[in-house]
Amino acid sequence: MNRADKVRSRGENNKKYYITFVSYVDSLDWKENATPESICKRVTNKVKNGSIVLFHNDADHTPAALPNILKCLKDEGYEFVFISDLILKENYEIKHDGTQCKLKDGAN
């Protein structure tokens, strides 16, 4: 058995399934010129129902921006849920904008 066969067989035994998220709000918190205020403004202006907000755990100003973002979004009536609660796992299609939509019964 050559090296490629070993890698292939190891991969087949450890199958992983990934879900790609296309519909999200990028906070751009990683940018060098980001400030807590600019991060908050970007997120609160771009978020909509069902949005997934992308933050980076090594960004300098994210910890300072988060309390204001969370308060603002809560005040606007948004709820925060686990990402697993947003994912449809069966009987769905993905629209051109990356959002998932539940299929009507019997539709393919």
Tens of pLDDT along 84-93?
A: 777 777 888 8
Per-residue pLDDT band at 71 (split at 50, 70, 90): very high
State how far the alpha carbon of 56 is from the alpha carbons of 14, 32, 72, 99, 106, in Å: 28, 13, 20, 22, 40
What separation, in Å, do the N-terminal and C-terminal C-alpha atoms of the chain show? Answer: 42
pLDDT band at 51 (very low <50, low <70, confident <90, very high): confident
Please tell me the predicted confidence (pLDDT) of residue 70: 96
The structural domains of the chain, with segments of one domain joined by +, span 23-102
Q: Determine which helix (DSSP H) or strand (DSSP E) holds 92, and give its type and residue range.
A: strand 92-94
| pTM score of the predicted model | 0.66
3-state DSSP percent of the chain in helix, strand and coil, to 5? 35, 10, 50
Report the CATH superfamily, name and number, of domain 23-102: Glycoside hydrolase/deacetylase (3.20.20.370)
CB 68 within 8 A of CB 39: no
Amino acid present at 75: D
Backbone dihedral angles phi then psi of residue 59, each to the nearest 5 degrees: -80, 140
The whole-angstrom separation of Cα 28 and Cα 33 is 10
pLDDT at 6: 41
Q: Indicate if the pLDDT at residue 95 is higher than 90.
A: no
- Per-residue pLDDT tens for 57-70? 899 999 999 999 99
